Amino acid sequence: MSKPLHAFAPVLLLLLGMAAIPSMAAKPAAAPPPTFTNRVEFTTDGDGRVREAKVIGAPTDATNATVQQALLKKARDWRFEPFAWQGKPAASTFTRFIDVEIVPTTSGGFALRVKGVNKFKFAYLGPDSLPKEEGIRYEGKHGQYLMVFRVDADVEGRPVKVERALPDNRFPKGMDALVARKETMLQGWRQPPAVVDGTPVACTRVYVMQVRPDKIGLRVRDDEQGWYNDIDMARLLPKEVEQVRAVMAATNNACPPPRMVTVIEGTLL
C-alpha cells in the first residue's frame, strides 16, 4: 500500500537541505602570492654601508629576472651595523637569503614586496640523537634565564671551540644537562666560511640562548634564541640586550655578517 505524498515531506526537506549545502560552502582560500627566494651576496664597508650586492644564481625565468633587478637596486640602499675586525673597521662579504613576493595593487597591477630575510643556513654535522630537555628537572624559582656562547670556527667554517661567554649564575640546579646539550649541538654546526677584507678568516660567532622554566619542566624558546645576526632584540629584556652587546663588543674577531639595521620586511621594491 503506497503512502501519501505528505508522509515523505520530512525526507524531502532533508534531501533538499543537503542539496543546498554545496552552494552555501565557503569559497576556497586564495592562493598565497608567488614568492622568490634570492641568495644575495653583500660586501659592506666598515661603517655598514653596502659597497656591492649581487644575486647568486641565474634567474629561472623573466619574472625572476625582474625580481632580481629590483632587489639589487634597493639592496644597495640597505644598512648593516658597523663591522670591526680585531678592533678596526673592516669590509666583510657574506650572503643572506631574501624572500620577495608578488602582490596585487589597488590599481589592478602588481608590486614586488620583501617578505623577509631567512635566518642563517648552517650545515649540521653533529650527532643526530641528543637527550631531550623535556625530561630534565630542576630546583629553584621560575623565571627567565640567559646563556650566551662563543663558537670559534676555522677558515672553512668548522667549529673548533665552544665556550660560555655569559654563564647565568642564577641558573637553578638541573639545567646543566640542558646547557651541555646545547654545547654539543653548537659543536656540530658548520658555518659559512667568513670573508674579511677579501680574505677567508677564522672567527667567532655569538649564540644567544633563553630558557624559561615552568612548573612542569624546562621550556626552551627556540624561536627566541639563535645567532646574534638573527635574533630579535625586542624579545630580550633590556638588561639582556646590554649583556649580549657587551659580549659582542668584547669579541674582536666576530664573524660577519653584521646585523641588518634597515627594516626591510614589508617594503616595496
Q: Are 242 and 198 members of one domain? A: yes
> Where are the alpha helices (H) located in the chain, listed in sequence order?
9-24, 62-75, 176-186, 238-249
Q: Are 131 and 238 members of one domain? A: yes
- Point out the domain boundary residue: 117, 145, 169: 117
Angle, vertex CA 247, rays to CA 244 and CA 250, nearest 5: 150
Helix (H) or strand (E) holding 126: none
Amino acid at 44: T
Which residues have a Cβ under 8 Å from the Cβ of 60 and sit 6 or more positions away?
A: none
What is the count of structural domains for the chain?
Answer: 2
Domain annotation covers residue 29: no
Q: Are 205 and 108 members of one domain? A: no
Kindly state the DSSP code that residue 224 receives in the 8-state scheme. G
- Point out the domain boundary residue: 54, 82, 117: 117
Buried-state track 22-56, b at ≥16 Cβ within 10 A, e below 16 = eeeeeeeeeeeeeebebebebbbbbebebeebebe
Q: Are 86 and 204 members of one domain? A: no
Buried-state track 228-262, b at ≥16 Cβ within 10 A, e below 16 = bbbbeeeebeeebeebbeebbeebebbbbbbebee
Kindly give the parts of the chain with pLDDT less than 50. 1-21, 129-131, 133-135, 138, 221-224
Domain annotation covers residue 43: yes
- Domain range for 186 is 123-249
Domain annotation covers residue 112: yes
Q: Report pLDDT for 12.
A: 38
Q: Are 222 and 129 members of one domain? A: yes
Q: Report pLDDT for 252.
A: 85
Q: Are 233 and 188 members of one domain? A: yes
Q: Are 77 and 61 members of one domain? A: yes
Domain annotation covers residue 176: yes
- Point out the domain boundary residue: 102, 117, 132: 117
Q: Are 107 and 129 members of one domain? A: no
Q: Report pLDDT for 121.
A: 60
Q: Report pLDDT for 91.
A: 92
Domain annotation covers residue 104: yes
Dist. CA 155–CA 209, nearest whole Å: 25
Q: Are 69 and 173 members of one domain? A: no
Q: State how far the alpha carbon of 84 is from the alpha carbons of 47, 176, 217, 231, in Å.
A: 9, 34, 41, 20
Domain annotation covers residue 54: yes
Q: Report pLDDT for 107.
A: 84
With beta carbons less than 8 A apart as the criterion, state whether 127 and 188 touch: yes
Q: Are 139 and 240 members of one domain? A: yes
Q: Are 129 and 45 members of one domain? A: no
Q: Are 182 and 219 members of one domain? A: yes
Grid cell 627566541 in the structure block, residue: 224
Domain annotation covers residue 138: yes
Residue (of 194, 252, 177, 144) closest to 43 by Cα position: 194
Q: Report pLDDT for 143.
A: 61
Left if phi > 0, otherwise alpha if psi is -120 to 50, otherwise beta: which for 24? alpha
Dist. CA 133–CA 136, nearest whole Å: 5
Domain annotation covers residue 23: no
